Amino acid sequence: MAQLLALLVALAIMGGIGWLLFVLGVRPFARRPGMAWVMSTLGFGVILQSIGLAIWGPKPVVVPSPVGDDVIRILGVGVRPQELLMLVTSVVIMLVFDHIMRKTMAGKAMRAVAQNPSVASLMGINVSSMMIGAFIISSAVAGLSGFMLAPIAQASLFMGLAVGLKGFSAAMVGGLNNPRGCVVGGFMLGVLESFVNLWSAQWREVTIFALVILVLAFRPNGLFGSNLVEKV
C-alpha cells in the first residue's frame, strides 16, 4: 500500500515537473531560432539534479521490490519478478498509447501538433494544451519508469542518464518517426546487450553504440523510419 501511494505521488510530482519544464524551459524559447529551447531544457535538468544533490546527496538508495526478489527460473534462465513486472507494464503502456495515438481524437490531435503546429492551429486544435498534455504525460511515464527501475538498479539522481541515452539510441535505431519501430529498436538493443553481457561485460556499451552508428550510417531514419516528404 505504501509503495502504491509512493507511485501515485511520484506520478503527480513528475507530471508537475513536466508542466514546469514546458512553461519555463520550452515555451519561452519555442519560436526563437537555433537550439535555445534544447539548451534551456538541459539547463532545467541540471538545476533539478543540483537541487536533488543538495537535498538527498549522491548516494544510491536500495529500494525493495513490491513483488519480491526471489529469482524465477524460466527455461534455465534466472529472472527477477521485478523484471517481469517491468516487461508486462511496458507492453501494456505501449498498447494503450498506441491505441490512444491512432484511434482517439486526442491522440490524432497530438500527432497533428507534432507534425505541423501551425496547420494544426488553423484546424482548430489548441496547440498549447496538446503540448502541455504531452509534457505532463511523458514526464509521468518517466516517473513510472524510475519507480519500476529503482528496485533493479538502485535509486539515485544519476540512474536516468544511462537509461535515457540507451532509450534515445533505441528510438534512433527503430526510427524516431515510427513509435512502434522505437519499441522494436528498444527490444533489439536490450537483447543484444544481454547477449554481449554474457560474453564480455566491458564490451556491452561499445557494441550498443557501434550498432547505433552503423544503423544511422546506412539508414539515417532508422530501421523502421520513413523518409519525410516536404511539399512546397
Query: In tens digits, what is the pLDDT along the chain, a chain of 232 residues?
Result: 778 898 899 899 999 999 998 988 888 877 776 677 778 888 888 888 889 888 888 888 888 888 887 888 877 777 888 888 888 998 899 889 889 988 999 999 998 998 888 899 988 999 989 999 999 999 999 899 888 888 888 788 888 777 888 888 888 888 877 778 888 888 888 888 888 887 777 788 888 888 888 888 888 888 887 765 554 4
CB neighbourhood size of 21 (10 A): 20
Q: What is the pLDDT of residue 105?
A: 92
Question: Is the CB of residue 69 less than 8 Å from the CB of residue 152?
Answer: no
16 sits in which H/E element: helix 2-20
CB neighbourhood size of 39 (10 A): 12
Q: What is the pLDDT of residue 133?
A: 92
- Tell me the whole-structure pTM to 2 decimals: 0.82
Q: What is the pLDDT of residue 72?
A: 84
Question: Is the CB of residue 17 less than 8 Å from the CB of residue 139?
Answer: yes
Q: Map 97-163 to HEC letters.
A: HHHHHHHCHHHHHHHHHHHCHHHHHHCCCCHHHHHHHHHHHHHHHHHHHHHHHHHHHCECCCHHHHH
Question: Is the CB of residue 2 less than 8 Å from the CB of residue 66?
Answer: no
Question: Is the CB of residue 59 less than 8 Å from the CB of residue 158?
Answer: no
Radius of gyration in angstroms for the set of CA atoms belonging to the chain, rounded to a whole number? 19
Whole-Å CA distances, 36 to 29, 50, 125, 137: 6, 21, 25, 23
* CA–CA dist 42, 232 (Å, integer): 34
Whole-Å CA distances, 1 to 85, 89, 173: 17, 18, 39
Whole-Å CA distances, 38 to 26, 104, 160: 8, 30, 18
Q: What is the pLDDT of residue 75?
A: 75
Question: Is the CB of residue 189 less than 8 Å from the CB of residue 209?
Answer: no
What are the domain boundaries of the chain? 2-155, 158-225
Question: CB within 8 A of 5, min separation 6: which ones?
Answer: none
SS3 assignment, position 72: strand
Question: CB within 8 A of 193, min separation 6: which ones?
Answer: 166, 204, 207, 208
Cα 61 off chain centre by: 22
